[in-house]
Structure 1
Amino acid sequence: MINRVFHPIGQGAFYSENHIGFNIVYDCGSSGKKRIAENVVKQSFLPNATIDILFISHFDSDHVNRIPVLTNNFKIKNVILPLLHPEDKVLLINIYKALGRTDVATLIETPEDIFGNDTNIVYVDISETDKEINEGSINIENLTNGQIIRSLTELLAVDYDWMFVPYNYLHYERNLKLKNLFLQYDLDIDRVKTDLGYALYHRNDIKKVYKKLNGGINENSMFVYSGSIGDNHSFYTWHLLDENGRVGCIYSGDADFNRVNIRNVFARYWDKVGTIQVPHHGDVKCYNDLFFDGRSYFCPISVGENGYGHPSSAVIQSILSNNSIPILVTEKNSSTFRQYIAKRN
């Protein structure tokens, strides 16, 4: 039995899968109440459990700031991060240092300082296309520290008949918005990249830019498809049984469905997809309904108290009109969304 959980973390993201001895996490952060979020993370696995893979979609604080709770309570074998271009990496590091978020800056600059030497740090290269490409497969047990894999490489948990397929894309439009806002505040983006002192001196203006972008200064965002290797699984959700075995899930972080055609990217697995995490807390600017194909989908949305209008009523209406189920996962324990997946006889 597999237990997939969309945890009640509020305005952030924290999702996990327990495969009876094999655990994965996708993102771990929240902008909500710290104590509530930390308790949710601590209670997500049994004491001293091992997390076989931690996937990090991108480096916005509300997706990564509870990672120290994971490292303090559980062993993490592999961390999989989106690879950044060197210039973008330095820019993000200096921006986060200027914002006083040295924890996020360290995660980007020297993740081994957070996870330790016993954790493999693996990077997913940027894809230049949103078309399906078969990049082969790797047994998860064979991942090595510092390894760079291509987007759409199948990571196989062979003993559990399961795979995870990451896809890292670059949001060029977000980069353009960042540059334009820097110009608006008379900030020299090249100096921010090369001169930490300059960034620290202009920290107040950088905070204004960060706020206007709703935290979205990261150009990269990494999707992950999670699904069975074979066709012999079904799942129960809220006492509903999907006899068609569409147990696959696409985790999308804060990605933009207007920039990536997920049906094209994950075409090889699409017939197995039954759950799609709605990105960016249901922000209408990051959403379209082109992935719907007449079938029903579970569409969890992580959202908490916020001033951004998340989730958009237009997004909720779109999901419902496409015969699918929007599921709001908030700070309340009662909003926890679980899926129980089992092999068919």
Structure 2
Amino acid sequence: MFFIRRFILPVGQGAFYVERINDINIVYDCGSTDNQAKIPSLIKECFARKKTIEAVFISHLDKDHINGVEELLKNCEVKRICFPLITEEMKKVLEIKIMFEEAMGNRYSQFTKEFIENPEETVKKIIKDKEIELIEILPDDWDKKNDNKIDKNDNKIDKEIIKNSKIKRYREKSGENIAKKIKDLNGWELIPYNFRQEIRINELKENLEKEFKEEIHLEKVEEIWKEGGEKKAKIKRAYIGVSGDLNTNSMTLFLGIREDKKEISLEKAEEVSKNNEDSEKKETDYNDCYIKKGCLYTGDYDANGKQKWEKLEKAYQEYWKWIGFIQVPHHGSSKNCNDNLISKNAVYFLSAGRNNGYKHPSKDVVHDITLKYGNNLYIVTEDKGLEVILDSKIKIYNIFSSFSKTIENNQGDRLEIYIKALYLRLNL
């Protein structure tokens, strides 16, 4: 039997999500725009010193999703990091983004900048001679033709694997089950999809061409920026003119287990029935809880518009009926949401800074999730986190202001007895 604790940690404008399946730890994103200093203490509270984390999934390489990964590597035994494929174009776009944002006073950590440039060397500095897998997830529309034009890193990767024999860097297709690599996670699935987000990149290219009256290659932008004056002003106007965040990719993740109602044993069904007055209603509740332990993490995926929603829907077409929890994309931005996504029969959550300058989450998104579609929504800020406890029979939500006030971090019998007692109290 699996026992799950799901933590939406209070980092403000960022994302830090932990799944603890029995004693197996999975992390999706770890970063914050305005509360990065809080991340080390959260990591120490959430994980015992040198605790194993089987997989860290990075949705994309924005600072508010990655700048805490360095602390995870320093304090925990991270077995593998999964992130979107880093192409040469992706590097150039991210370098432009960092250059512009730092000029506006928004600092990026050295770790983030170095990881974008060279993940192996960056990780090696921290973990020294320990083993780790760096898994790049190919875009969802990747095919063999792309292998010839991927980038100059192709041969470099092979050389660095030989040079750093304990750091294994390789690629997996979108939709592959990463859980197969993790011992004792049989039956569970970790399904990442790396979606290219080229619309805004193309928009930047078009804006640059309009400003300079000629095509400007991305690799030349930094050099032109350094010339200053009117040329720098043109680049600034082109960048500001992009409608939305300049993300190159966003990697989503399904984490869960596919279970059919018919697979519930007679013994379990009788046990539930015996403990409930309204057996028919309660058994339905039990079954719903049983098959909907799955969570869909969306990062900053842009689900706005029919075509982009259909890509996401198709990617997880086999999983929707097992998804009971959904992260609202991009901190609740209306530019990334779609009615089809926020109207599912699920519990929704998002992370956003209490007074963030982006006005996240959108009032319209909050209204539609909670009032238009009648779903539960948890907005996690820097003040309060959310802990969700799940097993085959129970579902408990615990909002906490201090991690030390969560249920005792112990997967033994005492915790199981405590939860059963709490569950009985909640139903009296």
Using structure 1 for the length normalisation, give the TM-score. Answer: 0.82
Structure 1 residue 127 and structure 2 residue 140: aligned?
A: yes
C-alpha separation in 1, matches of 2:43 and 2:233: 32
Q: Name the CA distance, whole Å, in 1 between partners of 2:213 and 2:58.
A: 29
Cα distance change on mapping 1:183 and 1:12 into 2, 3 Å: farther
Which runs of 5 or more structure 1 residues have no equivalent in the other structure?
130-143, 235-239
1:8–1:315 Cα change, 3 Å: same
Aligned length: 323
What is aligned with 2:382? 331
Give the residue type in structure 2 aligned to 1:61: K
Give 1:90's aligned residue.
92
- Considering only CA atoms, is the larger Rg found in Structure 1 or Structure 2? 2
Q: Using CA pairs under 8 Å that are at least 6 residues apart, name the structure with larger relative contact order, 1 or 2.
A: 1
Matches within 5 A, 1:52-201: 52-93=54-95, 95-96=97-98, 101=108, 102-116=110-124, 118-128=131-141, 145-156=168-179, 157=182, 159-160=184-185, 161-183=187-209, 186=212, 190-194=216-220, 196-201=222-227
Matched, 1:226 2:255: yes
> What displacement does 1:45 show?
1.3
1:313 to 358, 363, 382: 363
Measured against aligned partners, the alpha-carbon deviations of 1:40-86 in whole angstroms (never above 9, x if no partner) come to 23322122111111101111111111222112211211011111332
Contact 1:9 1:330 in 2 (8 A): yes
Amino acid aligned to 2:345: S
Alignment of 1:246 onto 2:292:
yes
More helix by share: 2
Q: 1:197 to 1:283 in 2, by over 3 A?
A: same
In 2, Cα distance between the equivalents of 1:271 and 1:311?
26
CA distance in 2, matches of 1:113, 1:178: 30
Inter-partner Cα distance in structure 2 for 1:65 and 1:214: 25
2:184 partner letter: D
Alignment of 1:281 with 2:331, yes or no, is yes
Q: CA 1:20–1:207 in 2, change beyond 3 Å: closer, same or farther?
A: farther
Three-state SS of the structure 2 residue aligned to 1:268 is coil
Question: Whose strand fraction is larger, Structure 1's or Structure 2's?
Answer: 1
Cα distance in 1 for partners of 2:220, 2:168 equals 28
Task: Tell me the equivalent position of 1:140.
Answer: none
Quote the Cα distance in structure 1 between the aligned partners of 2:123 and 2:235.
Answer: 28
Report how far residue 110 of structure 1 moved.
Answer: 0.9
Give the C-alpha shift of residue 188 in structure 1.
8.3
Q: Please state if 1:35 is matched with 2:37.
A: yes
The 2-side partners of 1:189 and 1:71 are apart by 41
Instruction: Go from structure 1 to structure 2 and tell me whether the alpha carbon gap of 1:209 and 1:33 turns closer, same or farther (over 3 Å shift).
Output: farther
Task: Tell me, in whole angstroms, the C-alpha distance in 2 between the residues paired with 1:315 and 1:222.
Answer: 21
CA contact (8 A) 1:94 1:193 kept: no
Equivalent position of 2:245 in the other structure: 216
Q: Report % sequence identity.
A: 29
- Classify 1:184/1:60 alpha carbon distance in 2 versus 1 (closer, same or farther; 3 Å): farther
Q: Which runs of 5+ in 2 are unaligned?
A: 103-107, 143-166, 269-284, 395-428
CA-to-aligned-CA distance 1:229-275 (integer Å, 9 cap, x gap): 545799xxxxx975342011110001111223333220101110011
